[in-house]
């Protein structure tokens, strides 16, 4: 994944991702309390990570798709502190963390890459704190849809259409809202002609309007 490596070096790096693992829809890649041994690079499929309170309340902490890394939560205590659930059949590369660390010492470019992956996750979660602490339901959903479609587009999919892999309840949990609020907000955006929604299918009809909801200042067409 990191660039700037020689062919021979690449072979060494391949060792780190030698083994793969299939995860069926609904199954867990790892769960809270599991011993931490490896990071996982998602090859195909779609995951959610979530944590649960003692009194049963659940918080989805992220949705991850192909090319993204999960498992970073386990490093600090050598135990995972969240559950990683496949929302569709998935395949991951298992990257034993001791290998990752060993090769990071050998290849500065890999080391830098690992650091960036972790920093990116910290910055993402900072943004989530802003969402959860300051934004209204419509803003949260707009930001969520824009982020999702942008990540899908970066993987070669449409920049306006998508099939959601998660339920309204899971979106709600991620955004700190109840499923009814998610549903109502979808309906509102649909009534306003900004998106088209049919169950899990979402089409963004007016991306600039959506951006304006998320962030009134930064809209391209309304300056």
Partner DNA sequence: AAAAGTCCTTGATATAAATCAAATGATTAG
Partner DNA sequence: CTAATCATTTGATTTATATCAAGGACTTTT
Residue ranges in contact with a second copy by CB under 8 A: 51, 53-55, 57-59, 61, 72-77, 81-82, 101, 104-106, 108, 111-112, 114-116, 118-123, 125-130, 132-135, 173-176, 215-218
Query: Footprint of DNA on residues 101-140 (CB under 7 A)?
Result: 136-138
Q: Which residue has the tokens 């892999």?
A: 165
74 binds, among DNA, a second copy, none (CB under 5 to 8 A by kind): a second copy
Is 167 a binding residue for DNA by CB under 7 A? The answer is: yes
Q: Rounded distance, CA 28 to CA 41, Å?
A: 15
116 binds, among a second copy, DNA, none (CB under 5 to 8 A by kind): a second copy
CA 99 to chain centroid, in Å, comes to 24
Is 184 a binding residue for DNA by CB under 7 A? The answer is: yes
129 binds, among DNA, a second copy, none (CB under 5 to 8 A by kind): a second copy
Give pairs for 208-213: CB < 8 Å, separation 24+: 210/142, 210/145, 210/146, 211/142, 211/146, 213/138, 213/139, 213/142
Is 180 a binding residue for DNA by CB under 7 A? The answer is: yes
Q: Which residue has the tokens 């849809």?
A: 145
Q: Which residue has the tokens 């998602």?
A: 42
Nearer to a second copy, 10 or 76 (CB): 76
Q: Rounded distance, CA 151 to CA 175, Å?
A: 18
Nearer to DNA, 35 or 163 (CB): 163
Please give the C-alpha separations between residue 140 and each of 104, 170, 208, in angstroms, as whole numbers: 37, 14, 15
186 binds, among DNA, a second copy, none (CB under 5 to 8 A by kind): DNA
How many C-beta neighbours within 10 Å does residue 208 have?
Answer: 13
- Please state the closest distance from residue 5 (CB atom) to DNA, in A: 42
Site residues, DNA (CB under 7 A): 136-138, 164, 167-169, 172, 176-184, 186-187, 197-200
């Amino acid at each position: 994944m990191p660039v700037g490596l020689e062919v021979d070096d690449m072979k060494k790096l391949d060792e780190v991702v030698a083994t793969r693992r299939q995860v069926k829809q609904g199954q867990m890649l790892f769960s809270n309390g599991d011993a931490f041994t490896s990071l996982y690079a998602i090859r195909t499929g779609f995951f959610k990570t979530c944590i649960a309170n003692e009194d049963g309340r659940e918080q989805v902490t992220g949705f991850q798709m192909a090319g993204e890394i999960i498992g970073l939560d386990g490093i600090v205590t050598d135990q995972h502190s969240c559950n990683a659930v496949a929302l569709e059949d998935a395949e991951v590369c298992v990257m034993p963390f001791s290998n990752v660390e060993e090769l990071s010492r050998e290849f500065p470019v890999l080391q830098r890459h690992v650091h960036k992956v972790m920093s990116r996750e910290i910055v993402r979660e900072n943004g989530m704190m802003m969402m959860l602490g300051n934004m209204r339901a419509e803003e949260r959903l707009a930001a969520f849809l824009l982020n999702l479609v942008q990540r899908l587009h970066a993987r070669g999919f449409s920049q306006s259409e998508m099939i959601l892999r998660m339920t309204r309840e899971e979106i709600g949990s991620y955004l700190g809202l109840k499923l009814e609020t998610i549903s109502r907000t979808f309906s509102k955006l649909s009534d306003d002609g900004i998106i088209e929604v049919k169950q899990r299918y979402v089409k963004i009809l007016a991306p600039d309007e959506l951006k304006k909801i998320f962030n009134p200042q930064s809209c391209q067409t309304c300056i």
